[in-house]
Structure 1
């Protein structure tokens, strides 16, 4: 069911010069090369309103929720819900902010053992969504979607399918069928992570390859694919003209046994990448050779405080726009770990902030850089925190926003 989300094309459209600024800055943001102050520039280029799209799981969530961000208080106001697609668990915006793409984390699309990927046009005046089309993800349970900084392809990680798919974007923003499907193979890691805290029962996915994230590096030349099952991040050369992947040399970086690589994020300088390990609850700090597409682990730190014992599943990782701080989410411990980043990207643990909810699956900072939002899939809410840009600290605003099973938030400025 669609709840009045079919905006009129062109009504109240922004001026062409603003669109050009948004496209250029947006492309840098997607590529991971947004410079210090870039988020604020993106917000300024987008005018006076900031909207948020929240993906959910359909068992309690109702689809893609559209909310408005109060730039002064951090409050979220619910506007509309688009419920035509099931379990849109991961979302991504096109670089020009004209389209939104979502995976449906299902396993039975059109009777096949696969999920699906949907494309939406965004009304430039209201942020309303209009469904363009839906295609197969070419694997079961797609859990993450990434975007080419040129806006020509999306990349899907199929968790149960154990593969990654490349989908070309047509000129009208809709999706073509996959131009390439890349399966994962390799020896599986142990059931229990070698570096997990004492007493941990964080066991989730070493029975088979499980693709967790697929996205390009800042140069757009190499695709990184995190696989929990083999404890590897695979690297592929990306042919933008053909939309195909070729195994790189070196073909992967190996995490610790059982660590379970989940998500990664690049430092703004493009020479350092951070990989979050779900089952070990650790962050790998990696040097990145952009010419060769090679990752080398230089440092590994726990996302948990010293002395912690028990089970935790790390969830999300993000780097501040200026590269000075790195944040990592902890499910069950229910905190955001805060790290200070040195000039060479090395991390120092600063502490953690309680998220005020249960099972924080995802978090992100809005484009102005003032507020961080945490999505809790078990307590069915979003909490907001003021960001201290000098210390990296987080202060709870006291605000809760109830949404069933939220899983991903992305921001749009109008």
Structure 2
């Protein structure tokens, strides 16, 4: 009788455990250009600590990373090999399994999927162009390029708006933003009626972040060490600037260039990285007007080319490209300011940080 009772209790316990959902998992992916690999870390959602999982060696130096909307696949621009690669992500351990590797058509500085995850956009800094590749439902990248459009030198990023109707490409050299209309059904870009917006003198827009409500788009200005806020006309797909704010503290006279820019998931805060001042500039965002207010410049590692915010908006991780360190911060839910949690030695020349969270 005792054995039967123990057996029944054990079975009941197993059934209860089976009903408990799996704990959420988050992973950080780092492009280590100096070591030709992608490093994978597990993110502890309780305290922000990182644990190294493994490294994925590549044929060349990886740059920009992108995850599809379903979070099943990771895409990489392998710049020195002029390739695009795609990987399946294991949601349990974050490990990557290669799916495809295709010619990129050049040295792509930036990649992004459209909002449906059916196409891959790419911007080419040296070649001065943008391109479109088709994505398979299994995460494969088409070897054939769907479309290539010459723009101008120093095309630095490419990103669609939230409605998946328009695409924007900032150029640092020509100091301009190219504006495109996106045909999601045919997978083609077309120059907007106003194909190019010239930025104010000396700014040189580099990267961009789109507000959740699709009303505003923010560009960090590489040469101008500032962020410019633009209103997006949802009908025409064109931009109008209405505010430019410095990313530097008053009185700073050293050399500096901006690199990356991110909005918090809530949209209440915006962050931009300073290379030279070596800091993350923090701003609050007025939800009605889109205007920015400077909060602080938080010190970070040497030459913060890339950083990323976890999808919960709790942590921010910034990579020091020059010293091979990754700075981990907690984001204050009240103020949006950053608190340094830890610093990790990650490897040579980290150039991109990408965070994926699984439910």
Question: TM (normalized to structure 1)?
Answer: 0.78
Please name the residue that 1:168 is paired with.
Answer: 134
Query: Partner of 1:79: helix, strand, or coil?
Result: strand
Residue 44 (structure 2) aligned to one of 66, 70, 79: 70
| Residues 1:156 and 2:122 are matched in the alignment | yes
1:244 paired with 2:191, answer no
Pair 1:145-2:111 in alignment: yes
Partners of 2:240 and 2:22 in 1: CA distance: 37
Q: What SS does the aligned partner of 2:328 have?
A: strand
Structure 2 residue 253 is matched with structure 1 residue 309: yes
CA distance in 2, matches of 1:123, 1:338: 33
* Distance (whole Å) between structure 1 residues aligned to residue 121 and residue 291 of structure 2: 29
Aligned to 1:359: 303
Relative contact order higher in (CA < 8 Å, ≥ 6 apart): 1
Q: Distance in 1 between matches of 2:354 and 2:170?
A: 21
Larger radius of gyration: 2
Aligned to 1:52: 28
Q: Distance in 2 between matches of 1:163 and 1:279?
A: 21
* Residue of structure 2 equivalent to 1:229: 173
Q: Using the alignment, how far apart are the partners of 2:302 and 2:241 within structure 1?
A: 31
- CA shift, 1:145, in A, is 0.9
Deviation of 1:401 (Å): 3.7
Structure with greater strand share of residues: 2
Structure 1 residue corresponding to 2:230, chosen from 268, 286, 289: 286
SS in 2 for 1:337: strand
Match of 1:132 in 2: 99
Structure 1, residues 104-158: CA drift from partner, whole Å, max 9, x if none?
122xx4xxxxx2211112223332212122122223x211111111110011111
5 Å matches for 1:316-395?
316-342=260-286, 343-355=288-300, 357-395=301-339
Indicate if the aligned counterparts of 2:62 and 2:76 stay in contact, CA closer than 8 A: yes
Question: Match of 1:326, SS?
Answer: strand
3-state SS of 2:158 partner: strand
Q: For 1:146 and 1:226, locate their aligned partners in 2 and report how far apart those are by CA, in whole Å.
A: 14
Who is 1:180 aligned against? 147
8 Å CA contact 2:265–2:311 kept in 1: the answer is no
Shift of the alpha carbon at 1:182? 1.2
Q: Which residue of the partner structure matches residue 202 of structure 1?
A: none
Question: Offset at 1:46?
Answer: 8.3
Aligned residues: 336
Instruction: Say if 1:101 and 1:117, in contact at 8 Å, map to a contact too.
Output: yes
- The DSSP-based 3-state class of the residue aligned with 2:157 is strand
- d(CA) in 1 for partners of 2:140 and 2:40? 20
* Distance in 2, Cα, partners of 1:247 & 1:277: 23
CA distance in structure 2 between the aligned counterparts of 1:403 and 1:68, rounded to whole angstroms: 16
Distance 1:321 1:413, change over 3 A: closer
Higher mean displacement: 384-393 or 78-87: 78-87
* CA–CA distance in structure 1, aligned partners of residues 85 and 283 of structure 2: 35
